[in-house]
Structure 1
Amino acid sequence: MDVFLRNLPSRLTDKILSTQLATAVEALGIEDWDCQKFGNKTFGILSFLHPQDGERFLQKHGQRPLIAQTPLVILGNIVQCQRSNKPPNPFVIKSLTKSADKRRQLVHERKPVEAPDGKVIFDIVRLSCGYFEYAGQELSYTMDILWNPDEGWAKFARRMLIMEFTITNFKRRVEIPYRIIESIVYKAGQFTITLWESPRFFDLGLVSLAALDEAYTPCKDRQTQLSGGSPLNHHEVLGQALIYRLDVSPSHFETIMRRLSARGTLPLCQGRILLLPSSPYKLANGLQEFKRTIQDSTKTVPFGLLYQMEALVKNGFLLPWTVQALLRKLTQLCKAKRIGPTSKQPPISPAAVKKLFAQIPFASSEVDASNFEVDELWRQIEENEEQIRNGLLQGMKPGIIRENRIPVHRVNITPTKMTLHGPDPEAKNRILRRFADHSDYFIRVQFCEEDGADVQFSTNVSNSHIYQRFKKVFRDGINIGGRGYGFLGFSHSSLRSHSAWFMATFSHEGGLASYFTVISKLGSFENIYSPARCAARIGQAFSETPVAISLVEHGVKNVKVIPDIKSDDGNRVFSDGVGTISQSLALAIQSDTQRHEDTATCFQIRWAGAKGMLAVDPRLEGNAMCVRESMVKFASSDVANLEICDMANKPIPMVLNRQMIKILEDMGIPNCWFFRQQNFALDNLRSVTETVENTAKFMKRQNIGHGMGFPRFLRRLWSFGIDYRRDRFLSSVVEAAVLRELRLLKHKARIPIRHGVTLFGIMDEFGYLEEGQVYVAFDDDGFIHDRSNNLHNRRMIITRSPALHPGDIQLATNIVPPLSHPLRVLRNCLVFPQKGKRDLPSCLSGGDLDGDTYGIIWDHDAVRQVRRTFLPADYPRVEPVSIGRTVQREDMTDFYIQFMETNQLGLIAVRHMILADQQPEGTADPDCLLLASMHSTAVDYSKTGKPVDMNEFKKIKTNRYRPDFLAPAPPTKIVNRNEISFDNPDDEQVQGNEDQDDNTGPIHKYYESEKINGLLFRAIDERQIWSHNVKITNPTVLGDLWDETQKSLRRECQRILRDNSWGPLEQEAWNVRSFYEDAVWNMSLEFSDNASLRITELEVFTGAIFNATGVQTRRQRDRSIQLKDEFDSLVQQTEAVIRKKSARPPGEQLDEAQMMAHCKTALRSSMACLNVACFKEEGRRSGWRRVDEVFQSFKVIAACCVIKELDVWNKLEEGLMASELKRKMIVA
């Protein structure tokens, strides 16, 4: 039932209206209600789940002829209440029903709810920030900036500490999320808070405006500093001043503190920290002095060392004057050794300084002051260097880089600071490949939030100051290690991930390499008048191309540019983005990449000013390639190398997503088909931990530890009678992999399709296929339940993501050509026809053939039940925004900032999902079609420079109710660094004590969707599956798994070695362990979103960065791919050292006796490493003081090495026995 409310204050918000109504409604004992106000209108709606509740409300506050009941007064206005003449919104009723059910569930489970008066709020007296130092051995706090509020409060809310206060009539707000708090030391009326990163600062406007209107709700203006302090230079120091002292009113302090302590959510410690009344050091002055010292040292100290020294300060590890003293020592050492700035072998390596990051503890009362003394820090650096050099003697090189990667430094620019990272292995691109010897003059700059995430758009927060800060960085550049880095360019993918390349000028080939000389050698861009298009063309040189081959060396003297194949009217291009390549040149590419086992016939390439796909054409003779006119984007003389972005060397699994599922539902595919696919995937996940064999197969499919032999290791343990599920770390590795897939299945509807595949799209060069036909070719793979040659004349569903328009999914007939036809040469691709009125790829979400992948489903149960297909979208071609002149560097940086600020692709996609679920016509609803068109415009925005008209977006009628499948996932966390735990649900709609000041975004209300996405979502009870099928309970009564593993492997080894002869190798083994664990720690820091807060060893081992709120962000997915690649490289190197692979000259042929002798040596080394790995004490290596953690994975790698060597020995023995038997037979 709805009650219509008149005469509401016009500036009233939904939040304030709800607060004002709560007293009147809850006084009647009514629990299930909601309200909504419409913009600045003076009316609103009060909705009740139960009509009788609405009647009771009207009996007290409603209007009768001439006689008013108890009036409802809101902020001085007498509000008129009457029954609405319209039926209630069905989604409001669904949402209220869902909330009521949830509340009853909580009551049934007897989960405690904090009392409404249990809030923790203090009156602020003053606030300051500064740093810790030691007065003798006593920890002391030095104030650097002080704020004296006129009035204000500090609230410990659900997820963050919030402070709001007034200074000189301006209201300020500070938000400190609990996740960034390292510790809180408190005494009566005072908190001293140590942070991992900077808080968030907001300006809430003039206090006088709020005083004029009680309903006034200011827009939060995000700031890059907290203004109003003394002195006024907070922006200069806030990246290093991460100690905040909050003085509050002592009134009721102990009572309120008991409430806070009872929550158990914060690292609280009662104590006293001395305040130094004055200090000779001020952070701003110290930073300036340090900057001058860096500049002076550039003549002596190599850049890599200066970079790591500056990172110690920028990332908040040490105070600037401490690092300044270290740098002076380093400079003196370099002078004494006569080392120059270009030296490749300085007396102290950058890795030795970087290792210090882990060895510096947080200053606290429990930490000895000597840890921060210059001499002690220098001693630690020298010890690190000695360990690194010992490792080098054994073939262990820190930060090993694969041939197709290059070390690159990374810089994060956040709203308040700059942090330095790396160098990390980066896939090569044209620029990095050309200047490989000067790679440290190029840096990747990431523009992001303090925690590494994207800066989020919000309707009630202005980020204009943040973008102005980012724009200043583009305009002025950044200074690191005495070098000035300025903007160079960005690729299409880096634009979407908000990163860009910067470079510093350097000497090259007798001249200076600068922005202008580098860009001019790429090609000619003078005739491009669109900043977006110019940036996209230059960005081709920044596309990741791990492989490049010299065309001259392969005898390719001329590359033909051939015309495109078009429709009869010339309006459609069937060959858009695809050319051809000869078989012999394709084989040469695979030979150069050492992929002899692959049969790739399609390559995504960059060459000169061209981009797109090349597909094998058997008619081409010799080493030849042809590019189409549509592939050539700009003129370039840089034609020497063919760069490979990707190869179609294997099929890609086909998985559904929510947009695709909704369109398939609208096409008539029944619910039972979707449930069948989801249940099959769920059954597979449920069975993973049932048996060791299932676990091993799953880990192999997920490619976790496959290179080190992890699945084989689990099987071998089982053969010894040892169950991996007894070990917490091994169990967590499996749990993390299963949970990741489970959450993708539930929260993204990523449902794998057995009768389907995803492939690169190319064109039929021979004119064999007719309109409406395709040819699907793929290699056999375990995840596909069919063979491509058996699919002749099958109807297929063809699509491309993202699919929002109902016509983005089409049907086609698969035609398998005769065995002798040249099309049969092609593998792992989808071949489209060159005939018809319109090319099929353009019908599928505006696709083309320059590297797009397409999803194919041939499941007969799905295809035969399609009842309806939709005409594809046909949007007019958008001309890029022109400025009428040659594009300058500043034009492209302005576009970059504009894109960051106005790109609303995600917002449009979510709104489309909501409306498609709510409207009867689904994706065919007119508003959904309009949103699909807007989404297409937003996708092309990066190339056209034309943003979506958000005024049109705002005209689309919507409500604040969302389908339940868009609700956030229950939060999870990693506890004790290697164990996954689900948090208790934190549903604001049912807790009853909603903390309005803790909102980080709009409050969404959810209803149970009755469409297929909602049904699939609710069919997965992830908590139940986690607790019953995934979560492994480790028994403690069976003893230590690793003790038994050592004993079992020792017995096997003694059969071969006859003694425990690996003891003398243990010192060397300690060095290997130290090398490996240093590298793991380094990855845990470099791949974290935070400059000093690490990811866990579990995340490093599985190659997947953990996201507590559900599924990974785009950036976390990209970084996870890099993390996995780097960890696999580390494992490969560590295994080579343990198994003594480097001791054998490459290519040397050994006889059987030599092979057996080498196997014994490798077996001794592997057992020594396993023994060392299982030691509990850490005394043999440098401790990591910032974290108290013992890494677990080295023992896994060592055990895998032992098992591999045992298997090698067994094969050698079998070979000897077979040879002996053969010899005897010949003699006989």
Structure 2
Amino acid sequence: MGKTIQVYGFLSNVSAGEVKTFLEGYTGRETVYALKIRQHKKGGRAYAIVQFTRSSAAGLIIRLANQRLYYGRSYLKAREMETDIVPKPRAFLHTMERVTVNFGCQVSVEKFYVLWKAENVTLNFGTGMRKLEFLVSYCRSKYKLELFYENIWQIELRCPDSQTSKHLLIQLFGAPRIYEKEVPASELVFDDPLLNYFKDVPDDQWVRTTDFTRSNCIGQSSVLCLELPHNLRLPNFRENFAYYKENESRLVLESGSSYSCNLSLVPIVCPLRVIDLPFEILFKVNLLVQNGCIPGPALDDTFYRLVDPCRMDKVYIDHALEKLYYLRECCYEPSRWLFEEYKNFSRSRKYQGSPAISLDEGLVYVRRVQITPSRVYFCGPEINVSNRVLRQFHNDIDNFLRISFVDEELEKIHSINVQARGRRTSIYERILSTLRNGVVIGDKRFEFLAFSSSQLRENSAWMFASRKGLTAADIRSWMGNFSKIRNVAKYAARLGQSFSSSTETLSVSKDEINLIPDIEIMKHGIKYVFSDGIGKISAKFAKKVAAKCRLKGCTPSAFQIRIGGFKGVVAIDPTSSWKLSLRKSMEKYESENTKLDVLAWSKYQPCFLNRQLITLLSTLGVPDRAFEKKQREVIDQLNALLTDPLEAQVALELMSPGENTNILKEMLLCGYKPDAEPFLSMMLETFRASKLLELRTKARIFVQKG
């Protein structure tokens, strides 16, 4: 017996609530899980499709209908349905109702700073869900907050005997995902609340949204504090959370207010106008607040003076802030901690500060900001491969910023969260407003500059903080003339050409570039271009370009390039006397830039047979013994690399020429033995096992000189 039945015979004006009340009069309260009222196609009476929480309730209604069941004067008939309204209803392992949830920051061991409070909250969770689900009602709207285990740092239960309630503190890595229950459209029978009932709101009725509280208090919160009755029996949190602890110390809840200086992107902190902090230090302070290393409300004038290079040694400040980031616990008194740390630095004669790390040519430090639907996170500075724009304006590197739009767990945000049921969500508005209004950090306002094609796939973009004499518009003007491009998507893509990670090589003047025609054929009124994006480079110049790219040995046969407004691939032409021969199809916009930037070059690729190739070759008459011989050769080579250094080096060079095995090749060149050095032996065994697995499952046979 299933849980879903159809009950026929109701009056046409009956509502879902009336039918639910009627049926639960027989089956008991909260036994109806889902219910739909529908009209019969031939008119007359209505019928109800009802899904119960247990099959015994459905069986009871069918038995009563067989013995004459009436609704008023209407005689009802019932039959079993094959499919459920909700196929797999969620069964929560634990549910706590009428819980008070305080959003805020813990500012000391015994004090909690409340930014916003939600009452009568329902909390659901279970071991398989790997998330806590909070159901909240606010301003006549229903919201669902999903807090995934990955965003929980630790959980602490405070249950002092002196207080009537106990507190469950949930320290966060990130904010919960926020959903809003969509307002149903009464004109649609499938959405009309009078004709439909669900005990739990279906997933398709929840729409992602941003922080709905005043001053974005959820985004500013680093801790959730749940107020629970002292006699409430709690589930065993220790089973699901490794970082769970209990103590009997008291906790005082204190009402607080917003500490973020920017209420659209939170939390971003800054000092009063009296204290003028350098951008790099203010960026680090925000990074500490956003990662829960220090509570935002604890930052006062004393703290900002302690990180002011005009008052303190900058070397001390940098080292102290870095040390603060790696503390395992939140520092509730950052001013006092900094003061003590500076005293220790001044006493220690050996302290010389952190050594400066010099970057290789072509690498730069860039700061990044991750923007979620509820919060922002500052990152870096991080090492990035430079591009044409960063190399040109290297003196303004602190004015460049990379932004990424991600979900609360810092994963990729999907299109369904931006647009749901044909309308744009508030997450879309948040992304759009950020791109329009920019990001303000201290006295810098970063505005949209451009994005590369790879950034577009990652929901990222470049921003620039304009200064006197240089704006984002000036940089775009320097990049080239885009006025002839009228298509928005193509315009953005052309801007991104200059932001592709590349290696700067040599300058090529216009009189050293030969413009050659494309190879085209017109057939049946359609023009076919066989040379689209393909140019030529002289052998002599290719050798110089390879040297600039630090390529030793042979010169690559082809390079992926950017020069001025041209993009594409150039192949070596031994007969060419021109440095570059470019085609019209390679020109995307007009630019005066003469630097040749190289994105990639042709590399050796190992050749492997697979099942498909073996089948084709067998069909063409190649005997099976030829494949068996090749397979034996590969197995012998893989066995030999575990003991013979020379065989190991050859196998790694031929079968896996990428960067992953470079460290193994260097160890072999330094004289380490495969059967003597533990790390090298373990890595070679893993490499051998991987290749044997591919051989067994995919018939992936390596072919030398393939």
Does TM, scored on the shorter chain, surpass 0.5?
A: yes
Q: What is the CA deviation profile of residues 1105-1131 of structure 1, one whole-angstrom value per residue up to 9, with x for unaligned ones? A: xxxxxxxxxxxxxxxxxxxxxxxxxxx
Decide whether aligned partners of structure 1 residues 6 and 156 sit closer, same or farther in structure 2, where only a CA change above 3 A counts: closer
Decide whether aligned partners of structure 1 residues 461 and 606 sit closer, same or farther in structure 2, where only a CA change above 3 A counts: same
Q: Does structure 1 residue 531 correspond to structure 2 residue 507? A: no
Q: What is the CA deviation profile of residues 1137-1176 of structure 1, one whole-angstrom value per residue up to 9, with x for unaligned ones? A: xxxxxxxxxxxxxxxxxxxxxxxxxxxxxxxxxxxxxxxx
Q: Which amino acid aligns with 1:358?
A: Y
Q: Which residue in the other structure is 2:279 paired with?
A: 303
Indicate the SS of the match to 1:293: coil
Q: Which amino acid aligns with 2:516?
A: I
Q: Which amino acid aligns with 1:417?
A: R
Alpha-carbon offset, residue 317 of structure 1: 2.0
Decide whether aligned partners of structure 1 residues 272 and 282 sit closer, same or farther in structure 2, where only a CA change above 3 A counts: farther
Q: What is the CA deviation profile of residues 182-227 of structure 1, one whole-angstrom value per residue up to 9, with x for unaligned ones? A: 2212247541111111111222256997576314746212222254
Q: Which amino acid aligns with 1:470?
A: I
Bigger relative contact order, structure 1 or 2 (CA pairs below 8 A, ≥6 apart): 1
Alpha-carbon offset, residue 306 of structure 1: 2.7
Q: Which residue in the other structure is 1:407 paired with?
A: 365
Q: Which residue in the other structure is 1:278 paired with?
A: 254
Decide whether aligned partners of structure 1 residues 617 and 713 sit closer, same or farther in structure 2, where only a CA change above 3 A counts: closer
Aligned counterparts of 1:443 and 1:705: Cα–Cα separation in 2 = 33
Q: Does structure 1 residue 611 correspond to structure 2 residue 567? A: yes
Q: 1:561 aligns with which of 496, 515, 520?
A: 515
Q: 1:148 aligns with which of 90, 98, 119?
A: 119
Q: Does structure 1 residue 634 correspond to structure 2 residue 589? A: yes
Indicate the SS of the match to 2:310: helix
Indicate the SS of the match to 2:122: strand
Q: Which residue in the other structure is 2:433 paired with?
A: 472
Decide whether aligned partners of structure 1 residues 118 and 317 sit closer, same or farther in structure 2, where only a CA change above 3 A counts: closer
Aligned counterparts of 2:170 and 2:197: Cα–Cα separation in 1 = 33
Q: Does structure 1 residue 293 correspond to structure 2 residue 271? A: yes
Q: Does structure 1 residue 420 correspond to structure 2 residue 385? A: no
Q: Does structure 1 residue 162 correspond to structure 2 residue 127? A: no
Q: Which residue in the other structure is 2:402 paired with?
A: 444
Q: Does structure 1 residue 362 correspond to structure 2 residue 330? A: yes
Alpha-carbon offset, residue 330 of structure 1: 3.2
Q: Which residue in the other structure is 1:257 paired with?
A: 235
Indicate the SS of the match to 2:512: coil
Q: Which amino acid aligns with 2:467?
A: F
Decide whether aligned partners of structure 1 residues 703 and 491 sit closer, same or farther in structure 2, where only a CA change above 3 A counts: closer
Alpha-carbon offset, residue 475 of structure 1: 0.8
Alpha-carbon offset, residue 577 of structure 1: 0.5
Alpha-carbon offset, residue 629 of structure 1: 0.6
Count of equivalent residues: 625
Q: What is the CA deviation profile of residues 1018-1044 of structure 1, one whole-angstrom value per residue up to 9, with x for unaligned ones? A: xxxxxxxxxxxxxxxxxxxxxxxxxxx
The TM-score with structure 1 as length reference comes to 0.44
Aligned counterparts of 1:389 and 1:531: Cα–Cα separation in 2 = 53
Aligned counterparts of 1:577 and 1:384: Cα–Cα separation in 2 = 64
Alpha-carbon offset, residue 117 of structure 1: 9.0
Aligned counterparts of 1:692 and 1:430: Cα–Cα separation in 2 = 47
Answer whether contact 1:240 1:315 (CA < 8 A) is retained. no
- Structure 2: segments with no counterpart, 5+ residues: 17-23, 28-35, 42-46, 50-54, 160-164, 187-191
Answer whether contact 2:103 2:117 (CA < 8 A) is retained. yes
1:896-975 pair list within 5 angstroms:
none
Aligned counterparts of 1:571 and 1:383: Cα–Cα separation in 2 = 76
Alpha-carbon offset, residue 642 of structure 1: 0.9
Q: Which residue in the other structure is 2:20 paired with?
A: none
Q: Which residue in the other structure is 1:864 paired with?
A: none
Decide whether aligned partners of structure 1 residues 120 and 44 sit closer, same or farther in structure 2, where only a CA change above 3 A counts: same
Q: Which amino acid aligns with 1:539?
A: G
Alpha-carbon offset, residue 541 of structure 1: 0.9
Answer whether contact 1:653 1:752 (CA < 8 A) is retained. no
Aligned counterparts of 1:122 and 1:77: Cα–Cα separation in 2 = 38
Q: Does structure 1 residue 213 correspond to structure 2 residue 164? A: no
Q: Does structure 1 residue 126 correspond to structure 2 residue 103? A: no
CA RMSD of aligned residues (A): 5.4
Decide whether aligned partners of structure 1 residues 7 and 724 sit closer, same or farther in structure 2, where only a CA change above 3 A counts: same
Answer whether contact 1:356 1:381 (CA < 8 A) is retained. no
Q: Which residue in the other structure is 2:499 paired with?
A: 542
Q: Which residue in the other structure is 1:241 paired with?
A: 221
Answer whether contact 1:148 1:167 (CA < 8 A) is retained. no
Indicate the SS of the match to 2:501: coil
Answer whether contact 1:294 1:481 (CA < 8 A) is retained. no
The TM-score with structure 2 as length reference comes to 0.73
1:288-687 pair list within 5 angstroms:
291=269, 293=271, 297-298=275-276, 301-320=277-296, 321-322=298-299, 325-331=302-308, 333-334=309-310, 347-348=315-316, 350=318, 353-359=321-327, 361-362=329-330, 373-376=336-339, 378-379=341-342, 382=345, 389=352, 392=355, 397-398=356-357, 400-458=358-416, 464-507=425-468, 512-552=469-509, 557-569=511-523, 571-621=527-577, 624-638=579-593, 640-651=594-605
Answer whether contact 2:110 2:252 (CA < 8 A) is retained. no
Aligned counterparts of 1:147 and 1:431: Cα–Cα separation in 2 = 48
Alpha-carbon offset, residue 604 of structure 1: 0.4
Indicate the structure with greater strand content. Answer: 2
1:1130-1145 pair list within 5 angstroms:
none
Q: Which amino acid aligns with 1:633?
A: K
Decide whether aligned partners of structure 1 residues 688 and 348 sit closer, same or farther in structure 2, where only a CA change above 3 A counts: farther
Decide whether aligned partners of structure 1 residues 131 and 484 sit closer, same or farther in structure 2, where only a CA change above 3 A counts: same
Q: What is the CA deviation profile of residues 388-444 of structure 1, one whole-angstrom value per residue up to 9, with x for unaligned ones? A: 84664xxxx33x322011111111111111111111121121111111121111111
- Structure 1: segments with no counterpart, 5+ residues: 13-19, 24-36, 46-55, 85-95, 100-115, 338-345, 364-368, 755-783, 789-1228
Aligned counterparts of 1:310 and 1:374: Cα–Cα separation in 2 = 17
Indicate the structure with greater helix content. Answer: 1
Alpha-carbon offset, residue 691 of structure 1: 5.1
Decide whether aligned partners of structure 1 residues 372 and 521 sit closer, same or farther in structure 2, where only a CA change above 3 A counts: closer
Decide whether aligned partners of structure 1 residues 718 and 382 sit closer, same or farther in structure 2, where only a CA change above 3 A counts: same
Q: Which amino acid aligns with 1:326?
A: F
Decide whether aligned partners of structure 1 residues 596 and 661 sit closer, same or farther in structure 2, where only a CA change above 3 A counts: same
Aligned counterparts of 2:499 and 2:612: Cα–Cα separation in 1 = 35
Aligned counterparts of 2:402 and 2:347: Cα–Cα separation in 1 = 28
Alpha-carbon offset, residue 278 of structure 1: 3.4
Answer whether contact 1:169 1:206 (CA < 8 A) is retained. no
Alpha-carbon offset, residue 561 of structure 1: 1.7
Alpha-carbon offset, residue 310 of structure 1: 2.7
Q: What is the CA deviation profile of residues 117-161 of structure 1, one whole-angstrom value per residue up to 9, with x for unaligned ones? A: 982211133110122223xxx543222211123x63443452111
Q: What is the CA deviation profile of residues 1028-1085 of structure 1, one whole-angstrom value per residue up to 9, with x for unaligned ones? A: xxxxxxxxxxxxxxxxxxxxxxxxxxxxxxxxxxxxxxxxxxxxxxxxxxxxxxxxxx
Indicate the SS of the match to 1:415: coil
Aligned counterparts of 1:750 and 1:614: Cα–Cα separation in 2 = 38
Aligned counterparts of 1:625 and 1:404: Cα–Cα separation in 2 = 23
Q: What is the CA deviation profile of residues 504-523 of structure 1, one whole-angstrom value per residue up to 9, with x for unaligned ones? A: 1134xxxx111221111222
Aligned counterparts of 1:323 and 1:485: Cα–Cα separation in 2 = 26
Q: Does structure 1 residue 787 correspond to structure 2 residue 701? A: no
Percentage identity across paired residues of the two chains: 20
Aligned counterparts of 1:567 and 1:225: Cα–Cα separation in 2 = 57
Aligned counterparts of 1:41 and 1:692: Cα–Cα separation in 2 = 79
Q: Which amino acid aligns with 2:490?
A: R
Indicate the SS of the match to 1:274: coil
Q: Which amino acid aligns with 2:125?
A: K
Answer whether contact 2:102 2:114 (CA < 8 A) is retained. yes
Aligned counterparts of 1:561 and 1:223: Cα–Cα separation in 2 = 53
Q: What is the CA deviation profile of residues 568-589 of structure 1, one whole-angstrom value per residue up to 9, with x for unaligned ones? A: 4361000011011111110110
Decide whether aligned partners of structure 1 residues 610 and 323 sit closer, same or farther in structure 2, where only a CA change above 3 A counts: farther
Q: Which amino acid aligns with 2:196?
A: D
Q: What is the CA deviation profile of residues 802-853 of structure 1, one whole-angstrom value per residue up to 9, with x for unaligned ones? A: xxxxxxxxxxxxxxxxxxxxxxxxxxxxxxxxxxxxxxxxxxxxxxxxxxxx
Indicate the SS of the match to 2:342: helix
Indicate the SS of the match to 1:306: helix
Q: Which residue in the other structure is 2:52 paired with?
A: none
Aligned counterparts of 1:598 and 1:245: Cα–Cα separation in 2 = 64
Indicate the SS of the match to 1:278: strand
